[in-house]
Structure 1
Amino acid sequence: MYTIGQLSKKTKIPISTLRYYDEVGVLKPAQVADSGYRYYSNEELRVLHHITALKELGFTLTAIKELLAAEKSEQESRWKSYLDFELAAVAKQKAHLEELEKLLQTTKYVLEMKGEIEPEDIFLFIQALQTPADSRDSFLTRHFTAREIEIIRSLPDLSSDDPRSMQWAKMVRAAKEHLHEPPSSAISQELAQQFIQIPMDWFGQDEQLLEKYWALIRPERDEEAKLFGMDRETMDYIDSIVDWYLENEQEESTDGKGKTD
Structure 2
Amino acid sequence: MAPAASPAVEPVVGEPAAVADLEDERALLVADVHAGIEVGLRYERGVELDSRADERRERLCGLITETDADRLVVLGDLAHRIAAPEGDEREELVELIRAVTDRVPMTLVEGNHDAGVAEAFAGDIDVIGPGGGILGDSDRDNSTADAGVGVLHGHTWPDPSLLDADVICMGHEHPQVRLEDAVGGSRVERAWLRGELDPAAFVESGEAGPLPEADPPELVVFPAFNERSGGTWVNVDGQSFLAPFLPDALPAGDAYLLDGTRLGDYRRV
Range of TM-score over shorter length: under 0.3
- TM-score, normalised with respect to structure 1: 0.23
TM-score by length of 2: 0.22
Larger C-alpha radius of gyration, 1 or 2? 1
Between Structure 1 and Structure 2, which shows a larger proportion of helix residues?
A: 1
More RCO (CA 8 Å, sep 6+): 2
Larger strand proportion of the pair: 2
